[in-house]
């Protein structure tokens, strides 16, 4: 089992309120990702769950038991850090088994658990090496293996891929997704990378300013953002926002249009504009244009398209995929 409940969790550092009342339920076996901009409180919240920080007020329950005053080592959690946190003088095998050894686990059981974890992570041939002899991706797999051998109730990941290059991030992301399926474990993961969140999570928790802005599946957040912040944070390139009054649309303050829900034409369309920049990405073409009526717009076109700066074009949004927001920035359903 590995359920988690957070009830009115607050954290203040002096006069600064970092978390302003967090309520969250995580079911056993879920993969939940905290996302948000720097300083939104996501890493602080993870550290409070781990017991590395104390909540100012509120309750943290793991499998229904209050753990607010329980030391980290007794909470049944294992944490994977951004910096790997491996001991340089120990072998891969000893790094993975160190926590068990310190807990007094019999050597035969340590060997069994390390062998099982190293097989899952394709580390069998590296067990005798030290961290300095490994690549960044291999070191991160060792850190994940060290967490697996503890057989925790909760796996906590604090931006584990941020130190890896692009190719290794993709490969390690696939490894983590596979491990979640195989272990059927509860995983809580912090990242600022929305691609990681959209591709890994069962449930995404979007934080901003110490407050949960929305909780939902990746596609719920993409298709039905609760407010302007979530709409602008989820999706790449970011959603276009246009003043509804400029478009002559009544009953809303702001209209949102995702770049992939725009079409461009050289002949006719809703809003005329001038191309200011084009990004040719192979599978996609991203076109930025300045429209007198709608302002700066971004259009994402699938495939290769031959637009260039200063071209006059017409942009047309898909009318069925407009998002409407009220004066307070909340979505209008």
Instruction: Kindly report, residue by residue over 287-300, the tens digit of the pLDDT.
Output: 999 999 999 999 99
Listed in sequence order, the residues at least 6 apart from 25 whose beta carbon sits closer than 8 Å to its beta carbon are: 3, 4, 5
Residue 175: pLDDT band (50, 70, 90) is confident
Instruction: Kindly report, residue by residue over 195-230, the tens digit of the pLDDT.
Output: 899 999 999 999 999 999 999 999 999 999 999 999
Domain chopping of the chain, boundaries: 4-230, 238-325
Residue with tokens 């890896």, as numbered in its chain: 164
- pTM (2 decimals)? 0.91
CA–CA distances in Å: residue 9 to residues 12, 25, 56, 255? 10, 12, 8, 34
Structure tokens at 266: 């050289």
% of the chain beyond a pLDDT of 90: 80
Residue with tokens 């002096």, as numbered in its chain: 14
Better-scored residue on pLDDT, 83 or 264: 264
Confidence (pLDDT) at 1: 67
User: Average pLDDT, stretch 138-150?
Assistant: 91
Residue 123: pLDDT band (50, 70, 90) is very high
Residue with tokens 């041939």, as numbered in its chain: 125
* CATH 3.30.70.270 is right for the domain spanning 4-230: no
Cβ-contact 28, 202 below 8 angstroms: no
Quick check: do 4-230 and 238-325 share a fold? no
- CATH for 238-325 (1.20.1250.20, 2.40.50.140, 2.30.40.10, 3.40.640.10): 2.40.50.140
């Amino acid at each position: 089992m590995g359920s988690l409940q957070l009830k009115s969790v607050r954290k203040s550092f002096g006069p600064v309120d970092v978390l302003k009342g967090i309520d969250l339920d995580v079911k056993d076996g879920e993969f939940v990702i905290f996302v948000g901009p720097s300083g939104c409180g996501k890493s602080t919240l993870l550290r409070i769950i781990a017991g590395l920080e104390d909540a100012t007020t509120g309750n943290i329950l793991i499998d229904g038991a209050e753990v607010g005053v329980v030391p980290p080592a007794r909470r049944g959690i294992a944490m994977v850090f951004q910096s790997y946190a491996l001991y340089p003088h120990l072998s891969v095998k000893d790094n993975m088994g160190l926590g068990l050894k310190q807990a007094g686990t019999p050597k035969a059981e340590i060997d069994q658990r390390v062998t099982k974890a190293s097989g899952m992570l394709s580390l069998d041939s590296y067990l005798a090496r030290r961290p300095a002899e490994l690549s960044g991706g291999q070191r991160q797999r060792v850190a994940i293996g060290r967490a697996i051998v503890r057989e925790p109730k909760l796996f906590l990941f604090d931006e584990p891929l941020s130190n890896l290059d692009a190719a290794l991030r993709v490969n390690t992301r696939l490894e983590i997704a596979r491990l979640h399926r195989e272990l059927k474990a509860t995983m809580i993961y912090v990242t600022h990378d929305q691609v990681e969140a959209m591709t890994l999570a069962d449930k995404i928790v979007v934080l901003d300013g110490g407050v949960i802005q929305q909780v939902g599946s990746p596609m719920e957040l993409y298709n039905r953002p609760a407010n302007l912040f979530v709409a602008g944070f989820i999706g790449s390139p970011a959603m276009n926002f246009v003043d509804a009054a400029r478009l002559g649309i009544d009953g809303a303050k702001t209209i949102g249009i995702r770049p992939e829900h725009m079409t461009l034409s050289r002949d006719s369309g809703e809003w005329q504009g001038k191309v200011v920049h084009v990004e040719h990405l192979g599978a996609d073409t991203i076109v930025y244009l300045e429209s007198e009526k709608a302002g700066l717009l971004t259009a994402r076109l699938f495939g290769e398209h031959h637009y260039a700066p200063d071209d006059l074009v017409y942009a047309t949004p898909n009318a069925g995929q407009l998002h409407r927001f009220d004066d307070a920035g909340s979505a209008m359903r």
